[in-house]
Amino acid sequence: MGADLPDVTEAAPPIVRGEPAEVADGVFVLHDNRVPLVPNIGFVVGDRATLVVDTGLGRRNGEYVLAQAKKLAGERPLYLTTTHFHPEHGFGAEVFAGAATIIANRGQRDELARKGPGYVQMFRGLGAAIAEELEDVTFVDPDFVYEGRAELDLGGHRVVLREWGPAHSAGDQTVLVDDRVLFTGDLAETRMFPIAPYFPPHDTDFDGGRWIGALAGMAELNPAIVVPGHGEIADVTLLHDIRGYLEYVQAEVARLKTGGASAEETAAKIGEDARARWPEWANPEWIGLAATAFHAAG
């Protein structure tokens, strides 16, 4: 499991750094600075409470994010939600236990229970710096679990949590603030090929068709600001771009498979063509995994 992941052994350590930048009234982002396995982390500061979106990888990053949240929140109560269960997005949640009310959708909670230990093992194998951040990591249960959607009134800011999975993962969640700012998690990345965590037989929850549908639904919300899981902040165009790529892979898989191409041949051909079509996008390793998943789905 994980043999086809991008090589991050020479990358900078996966440490959340910097100060939160305000991207809209009361909405702040700790930027990933395009460091692998560092997500964009959000803070929504209301009059009555503050919401944190994602934690970073492991306890040290979680502590840093919690400290930044407390600076912004002052005496206001804290909420934490994570866009999905993957380690760099949610494996710092343990430090928020008792300090914040943790909210998750049911699919995400159940996925963490099923896959969490396996993902710790897989990520530890990616390099010593990553293994260090995951040393003695523990999982915590959410305080509140919802299905479908949930709303938070933070005081002056209305937040809608909505589940879309299975797509990138089984429990994908977006966070929409004031119908204006959308945190997508890994349903969208900027200038990167979408992450396709398809690792049979260990993890086969990737669903490209539902992901395409999710992107269409997210685009209908017409957010002015899109905060992707990784990469620079964008607008609604990003959602159309990612959808276009996934539709391209889906159509090419269908065409090649109809012509008798094997999964390996299909992945190789689409990998070559997609690199040429989107030459400025990083992490082309994910192309073949997405193609293989579409091929297996029929």
- Spatial distance between the Cα atoms of 200 and 179, rounded to a whole number of angstroms: 37
Confidence of residue 202 (pLDDT cuts 50, 70, 90): confident
* Alpha-carbon span 121 to 128, nearest angstrom: 12
pLDDT tens readout for residues 255-264: 999 999 999 9
In this predicted structure, the answer to whether residue 277 has a pLDDT above a threshold of 90 is yes
Mean pLDDT (whole number) for 217-226 = 98
CA atoms within 13 A of residue 234's CA, in its CB half-sphere = 19
Least reliable range by pLDDT among 5-14, 87-96, 132-141, 163-172:
5-14
Indicate whether 1 pLDDT > 60.
no
Average pLDDT of the segment spanning 26-53? 98
pLDDT confidence band for 239 (50 / 70 / 90):
very high
Q: What are the tokens at 288?
A: 């073949």
State the chain's mean pLDDT as an integer.
Answer: 95
104 closest CA partner among 197, 51, 173 = 173
What does the pLDDT read at residue 2? 44
Q: Which residues pair with 159 in a beta bridge?
A: 152, 177
**Averaged pLDDT for residues 48-74:** 98
Domain ranges of the chain: 21-235
Give the rounded percent of residues in the chain with a pLDDT score beyond 90.
Answer: 95
pLDDT band at 8 (very low <50, low <70, confident <90, very high): low
pLDDT-derived band at 201, boundaries 50, 70, 90: confident
pLDDT tier at 3 (50, 70, 90 boundaries)? very low
CATH classification code of 21-235: 3.60.15.10
Mean pLDDT of 211-231: 98
pLDDT of residue 47: 98
Largest CA distance in the chain: 63
Beta-carbon contacts of 45 under 8 Å, excluding residues fewer than 6 positions away, are: 26, 27, 28, 72, 73, 76, 154, 157
At 9, the pLDDT band (50, 70, 90 cuts) reads low
Q: Is 177's pLDDT higher than 90?
A: yes
